[in-house]
Amino acid sequence: MSHSTISTRHERPVRKRRSALWRDLSRDRWIYILLLPGIAYFILFKYIPMGGVLIAFQDYNAFSGFGGSEWVGFKHFERLFAEPSFYRLLRNTLMLSLYNLVLGFPAPIILALMLNELRMKWLKRSIQTMIYVPHFMSWVVVVTMFFVLFESYDGLFQSWIASLGLDKFTIMMNADWFRPMYILQVLWRDSGWGTVIYLAALAGISPELYEASRMDGASRLRQIWHITLPGIRSTIVILFILKLSDVLDLSFEHIFLLLNAVNRDVADVFDTYVYRVGLLQGQMSYSTAVGLFKGLVGLVLVSFANWFSKKFGEEGIF
């Protein structure tokens, strides 16, 4: 009874609002038409695959397709957690992520701070030109270069340890050296480029702050600590959240290129496992479950960091 009175009372405004919406849509129709290809792209290549994770709860096979495959609940997740390789994958993924966060994340900040202290502009620019180069090289090229420099029998590293009187040993095809060599490549390729955003943020700090602190007799290190770092804090926070969002991805391509029979114990991560089990062995549903588990852990990490950042008065990414 009361329900119907409310709906009649609200009928007119609703229609009016709807027609205002319609007027807006028709006035800006070209804006929406131009939006369509992009929407289609995101639906087709981002949101359909996102819905596709449902095959993790099926026994998917290509003949029956998504509609015809049997639903099996959490079977594949139970298998994953029971699998002895699960703990190896988890350990490797977390260890490499940790290396990435602890060494890979601060490196560009430190480099940017160092560059920021340079007084000669031409020197700063030349150094920037050099340290950005490796970022634009493919992982194939980077990994190959490391093999050439470290593994070639007559190459730089092997000759160097020989000159120290040590025996030549294989370092790139060596499980003990996998993690250090992995993070060395990450640092070599990306820490220079990582400075770009920080340097842009540093350029926005008011020079007056430095002058005032110099009057007060603050040393260079104190200036860095009390002016420079607070000045780029929000940039650091945002980039840290973004970094968390792909930290478990670990640039799959890079590890895929480094992975071989010798270092599988330490180098096999969730993504390489998904590729091997899913595409090479054809266990689509199980490998999707593995991928989904990894994706959800990443999502939880980012959401938590985002919430944490907002709670402490910084901006979040959403």
Rounded Cα distance, 121 and 129, in Å:
12
**Residue 4 or residue 25: which is nearer to another protein going by CB?**
25
**Residue 6 or residue 233: which is nearer to another protein going by CB?**
233
Rounded Cα distance, 59 and 36, in Å:
34
Rounded Cα distance, 98 and 102, in Å:
6
- Least distance from C-beta 209 to another protein, angstroms? 18
Q: Is 60 helix (H, G, I), strand (E, B) or coil?
A: coil
**Residue 14 or residue 50: which is nearer to another protein going by CB?**
50
- Least distance from C-beta 139 to another protein, angstroms? 7
Rounded Cα distance, 177 and 170, in Å:
9
Report which DSSP code applies to 35.
Answer: H
CB contact at 8 A, 113 and 228: yes
**Residue 11 or residue 28: which is nearer to another protein going by CB?**
28
Give the number of other Cβ atoms within 10 Å of residue 248's Cβ.
21
**Residue 9 or residue 204: which is nearer to another protein going by CB?**
204
**Residue 8 or residue 163: which is nearer to another protein going by CB?**
163
**Residue 91 or residue 220: which is nearer to another protein going by CB?**
220
> What DSSP string runs through 303-317?
HHHHHHHHHTT----
CB contact at 8 A, 227 and 210: yes
- Least distance from C-beta 263 to another protein, angstroms? 13
Rounded Cα distance, 115 and 132, in Å:
13
Phi, psi for residue 59 in degrees, rounded to 5: -105, 80
- Least distance from C-beta 60 to another protein, angstroms? 8
CB contact at 8 A, 96 and 182: yes
- Least distance from C-beta 114 to another protein, angstroms? 5
- Least distance from C-beta 118 to another protein, angstroms? 7
**Residue 6 or residue 130: which is nearer to another protein going by CB?**
130
Sole residue written with tokens 């549903």: 285
- Least distance from C-beta 130 to another protein, angstroms? 4
Rounded Cα distance, 270 and 88, in Å:
10
Report which DSSP code applies to 120.
Answer: -
- Least distance from C-beta 24 to another protein, angstroms? 6
